[in-house]
Each structure stands twice: as structure tokens, then as C-alpha cells.
Amino acid sequence: MDSLSLYTAIEGFVLSLAAEGKSPHTVSDYRGSLRRLQGFLGKETPVAEISRDDVRRFMASLNGELAAKTRRNVHTGLSAFWTWAVGEGYAPVHLMRSIEAPRAPAPVIEPFTEAEIQGILQACQKTRGWVSRGGEQTATRRATALRDRALVLFLLDTGLRASECCGLRVGNVTLDRGRALIVEGKGKKQRVVFFGKRTRQALWRYWASRTEMGEDAPAFATVLDGERAMSRDVLYRLLRRIGERGQVANVHPHRFRHTFAITYLRNGGDIFTLQTLLGHSTLDMVRHYARIAECDTERVHEIASPVDNWRL
């Protein structure tokens, strides 16, 4: 068996991830987890000599430093690394299979209310208001108003991940049918998502305002001429600022995804179709959405029950 230092093995593993077409976000997460391990054990430590106790001590050192969900993500990254290392002949056994992953609490999911979405859409249109010298409250129309409204409606109507939205190209969208082919999802799997008439109209207005827009142009660009695609960081900052102007807390791409999923189920959609639309490989997260939607339905019935309200 080849003796390979942890530092060198990490470099080889990262290259293999890129060759497999893993998303930059996944590669960055895995690299960060392994750099933590390297800092704990030393960069020259031979991979073949790392023991289960070494990894257990490392995972224990993260308690109190990282949240449970982040520790679970570290475990996932190390597991992927050892799968590669064993397959390449650099490690004798898969250490992570005997080390239980940290239990992460169920994510707190707070979908947007209709009032919050209305506030966000209003914030897309106008700058933050100010008082003029004459004492009048005023605001101006934002240069990116068409783009931002289309972006918010598209995220809400499709439930796309941030990376999928940023990677979407004009040529992958069929505007008249309200469908988009997603090719940048997890594992490079392709799927089709759909969006309604109002979103189509908003997207058409935004695209009509752009110049020289070819099929390879980003669907949502950082500049008005549409030459540069948004990054995930740019998208997060943009939505956070829109939320601040609209006085809506916790505005980020994944919350639109949550809102789409729960609203879909509230309106009678089934979990299997939702799984396909969201691009989930399992039903675990979809079932979580379903439990929330079911609780919502129960609360609505408590309010709307005709027998109770009419005191029959």
C-alpha cells in the first residue's frame, strides 16, 4: 500500500471531486472539513496510519466549536474522503463506517407569509425611502427592479437551490411553456421545473430590458447587459438587502425553497412529485415539509371548523 501524507491525499481527493463534476460548493465544504483534520493531526501524517481513535478524538474536539449540523457535514466530508482513499489503495479500511455521525436537530423551517412576500416584492421596486428637504417621504425606482422581481418570483415558483438559480442559462428556459431544465443540481442530475404565468411575464420583462442576450447568457445577471452570472454569495447578499428594505427578516434563497415546498403541499400536491421537482434523492426532507403542512392544516381546521364556530 502506498504511503501518502494527509496533505497530498487531500489534494488528490479534491482533484477527483472536480473530475467527477461535483459542485464548487461541495468541493469547498469537503476541503474545509479535511483541512480541519489536517490541522488536528498534522499535514505529514500518513493516511494509512490514521486510526479510528485519531478520528474520534478529532470529531470530539469539534464539540462546542461547531454546531451539530456542521459537525455532521464534517463527518460526511471525511466519509467521502475515506471512500476515495480506500478505493485508491491509500488507506486499509474505511474508518468512518465505524464512527457514528453526529445527530443534527431537525432544521427550523419558517416559510414566508404572503404579507412578507408582498413586502419583499415592494422592496424590489423602490430604494429605501428618505425625507426630502421639503419634508416629504420619497424613494426612487431601482435600476434592477425588473431583475429582482423576476428573481424573487422565480425562486418562489420553482424552489430552486441557490447554485441552480445562479447556474441557470437562458437557453435552458422555455418561457412560453413555463419550464426550465436544471443541469447544475447535486450530482449533475438533470430535471425540469415549472413556473406560472405571472413569473413568465416578470421574466420576459426582465429579459426584454437586456441587450445582446444569447442562449448561453445567465438567466439572472449581476449587470443589466446580462454578461455576468451571479455567484451564490452575490445572490445571498442581494436577497438580504432586499429583505432589509422590506423589513422582512431572514431572507435567503433556501427560505424561498421551503416556502415553495410547503405551499405546494398545502395546495394539494403530493410528496413524490415534490421530491422530483426539488431534486431530492430521498423523501426524508420532503416528509419533513409534509409534517409541517399537515400541522398547518390541523391549525386551520381548528379555526375554520363550522361545528365549533356555529356552536352546533
Domains of the chain plus CATH, in order, are 6-98 (1.10.150.130), 114-251 (1.10.443.10)
Q: In the prediction, which pLDDT does 289 show?
A: 82
DSSP result, 147-168? HHHHHHHHHHHH---HHHHHH-
In the predicted structure, residue 294 carries a pLDDT above the cut 80:
no
Share above pLDDT 90 across residues of the chain, in percent, rounded to a whole number = 57
Q: In the prediction, which pLDDT does 226 show?
A: 61
Q: How do residues 106-124 score in pLDDT, each as one tens digit?
A: 667 889 999 999 999 999 9
The answer to whether the beta carbons of residues 192 and 179 sit under 8 Å apart is yes
Residue ranges of alpha helices (H) inside the chain are 6-19, 24-41, 52-61, 68-88, 114-125, 145-158, 162-167, 197-208, 232-245, 253-266, 271-278, 284-304, 306-309
Q: How far apart are CA 91 and CA 51, in angstroms?
A: 10
Q: In the prediction, which pLDDT does 304 show?
A: 53
Which of 131-140, 259-268, 285-294 has the weakest average pLDDT?
131-140
- Could you tell me which residues come within 8 angstroms of residue 84 by beta carbon, excluding any fewer than 6 positions away? 13, 16
Longest dimension (CA), the chain: 80
In the predicted structure, residue 303 carries a pLDDT above the cut 60:
no
In the predicted structure, residue 75 carries a pLDDT above the cut 50:
yes
DSSP result, 2-24? ---BHHHHHHHHHHHHHHTT--H
Q: How do residues 271-293 score in pLDDT, each as one tens digit?
A: 888 888 888 877 777 887 877 77
Average pLDDT over residues 55-80: 92
110: left (phi over 0), alpha (psi -120 to 50) or beta: beta
Cell of 247: 423589513
In the predicted structure, residue 227 carries a pLDDT above the cut 90:
no
Q: How far apart are CA 256 and CA 278, in angstroms?
A: 12
Q: How far apart are CA 308 and CA 311, in angstroms?
A: 5
The answer to whether the beta carbons of residues 222 and 237 sit under 8 Å apart is no
Q: Which residue has the cell 483541512?
A: 35
In the predicted structure, residue 311 carries a pLDDT above the cut 70:
no
Q: In the prediction, which pLDDT does 196 show?
A: 93
Q: Which residue has the cell 494509512?
A: 48
- Could you tell me which residues come within 8 angstroms of residue 42 by beta carbon, excluding any fewer than 6 positions away? 6
Q: In the prediction, which pLDDT does 130 show?
A: 55
Q: What pTM value is reported for the model?
A: 0.70
Q: How do residues 20-51 score in pLDDT, each as one tens digit?
A: 878 788 899 999 999 999 999 999 999 999 99
Cell of 136: 416629504
Average pLDDT over residues 189-210: 92
Q: In the prediction, which pLDDT does 238 show?
A: 95
Q: Which secondary-structure segment (H or E) carries 174?
A: strand 173-174
How confident is residue 143, by pLDDT bands cut at 50, 70 and 90? confident
How confident is residue 312, by pLDDT bands cut at 50, 70 and 90? very low
Q: In the prediction, which pLDDT does 2 show?
A: 61
Using CA atoms in the order 203, 206, 211, 214, what is the torsion angle rounded to 10 degrees? -20
The answer to whether the beta carbons of residues 75 and 59 sit under 8 Å apart is yes
